[in-house]
Amino acid sequence: MVAWSRITCFWPGLPRLWWRGDGRALLGALGFAAAVNLGLVSSLVWSESLPAWLLVLAWSALGGIWVGYAVHGWRLVAILRSGDASPAGESLFVRAQAEYLNRHWLEAEELLHKLLAEREQDAEARLMLATLYRHTGRMAEAANCLTRLERMDAGQRWRVEVARERRLLETVAETERTPAQAAGRPAPSALGAEARQVAGAGPVETG
């Protein structure tokens, strides 16, 4: 399995396609294949009608792209593989999920931190940690957790869930702002009384 995953590094787009089923990576791989086929046809069929320098330039560009993507893919595979499930990691995740569902926030958080220390690229665990932060009122930490998740390669699969969490955080923030604004706003009657006093109407009697 590891050997096959390393072989995918030698074709642009294949690492993401192999490990994550990324449709955009498939388009990239097909695009590079089309470029190579065009280069072959140009060299073998149209070689007499095209200047030699153009063919050299085209193959040099393809070679540079291939080398760049091979190096990038080699590094990327290590990152993607680190997010793979292991028995120990799955056990931690299941335990954390059980504590989370039972609303044992502290225990769930400890297990999630332990899991992420072992598998930093575990997107599902990081998403659960973000929702845990929201449930415990730690909105800034939840937002930071979602930001880290969005920057992860493995986090692309959770775009919908991340967007939903963002909306929930905004809803909570708006709910908290509204009572605070209402508490700091003087009553309309008080504003009217103050205006009349300034105008010289004298104090307003109540009762």
Whether the CB-CB separation of 162 and 146 falls below 8 Å is answered with yes
Most confident among 16-25, 80-89, 121-130 (mean pLDDT): 121-130
26 three-class SS? helix
Between CA 89 and CA 199 the distance in angstroms is 73
What domains can you pick out in the chain, each with its CATH number?
A: 2-82 (no CATH), 87-174 (1.25.40.10)
Distances (CA, A) of 167 to 106, 144, 161, 181, 190: 24, 14, 10, 21, 37
Please determine, for residue 146, whether its predicted confidence score (pLDDT) is greater than 90: yes
pLDDT at 135: 94
**H/E run at residue 10:** none
**More confident position, 173 or 199:** 173
pLDDT at 164: 93
Backbone torsion region of residue 22, taken as left when φ is above 0, otherwise alpha when ψ lies between -120 and 50, otherwise beta: beta
Measure the CA angle with vertex 85, ends 83 and 88; round to 5°.
Answer: 115
Please determine, for residue 19, whether its predicted confidence score (pLDDT) is greater than 80: no
Between CA 155 and CA 122 the distance in angstroms is 8
Which amino acid, residue 29? A
